[in-house]
Amino acid sequence: MCEYCGCQSVAVIDDLTREHELVVNLIGEVRAAQRSVDVPRMARVARRIAAILEPHTEVEEQGLFPALADEFPEQIAALTVEHRRIAAVLHEAAQDDPVDAGWPARLVEVAELLRNHILKEQDGVFPAALVGLDAEQWDTIGAIRARVGTLLPDPSP
């Protein structure tokens, strides 16, 4: 993933980036499960992605996106719409394996959307936030992260 602008030096962005990396790896698992026509595995992976994205999306939509919305209203609106589309397909596997025969194809399609969405955030949103947000805004976003948590492994030994 992106490492050229230095935005990962900000803890919140570093966490969001590491969550993106987990999700990208899980997208690979979705594709592998789809190739072997393993719908239950696809559903399990979808639930794992959804669990990672739940706090991740709250940090973005409650903190990062509002801080950037005045300057980039169309981009932020489009990213928010993508969040909803991704969440809707993942949610179809929230309780059980989806019985709709079209769900695996929707999951693969939304996984590709998610991969591209991640690139937009890493190449656009995160660098824009690095240069555009002030200390108070970062504190607000950090407080949101502290409140919602993360499924990232604890980096301390």
Other C-beta atoms closer than 10 Å to the C-beta of 35 total 9
- Two structure tokens written together for 154: 């604890």
pLDDT at 2: 46
Q: Judge whether 138 and 10 are in contact, CB under 8 Å.
A: yes
How many Cα neighbours within 13 Å face the side chain of 123? 7
pLDDT at 10: 80
For the chain, the average pLDDT equals 92
pLDDT at 4: 52
Query: Helix (H, G, I), strand (E, B), or coil: what is residue 38?
Result: coil
Domain ranges in the chain are 10-148
Confidence of residue 154 (pLDDT cuts 50, 70, 90): confident
Residues 62-80 have pLDDT tens digits of: 999 999 999 999 999 999 9
Residues 134-145 have pLDDT tens digits of: 999 999 999 999
Task: Using the predicted structure, report yes or no on whether residue 60 has a pLDDT greater than 60.
Answer: yes
pLDDT at 114: 98
Query: Helix (H, G, I), strand (E, B), or coil: what is residue 78?
Result: helix
Confidence of residue 49 (pLDDT cuts 50, 70, 90): very high
Residues 103-123 have pLDDT tens digits of: 999 999 999 999 999 999 999
pLDDT at 1: 44
Confidence of residue 85 (pLDDT cuts 50, 70, 90): very high
Find where tokens 């999700």 sit.
23
Q: How far is CA 125 from CA 16, 17, 44, 57, 71, in A?
A: 11, 11, 29, 13, 11
123 versus 9: the higher-pLDDT residue is 123
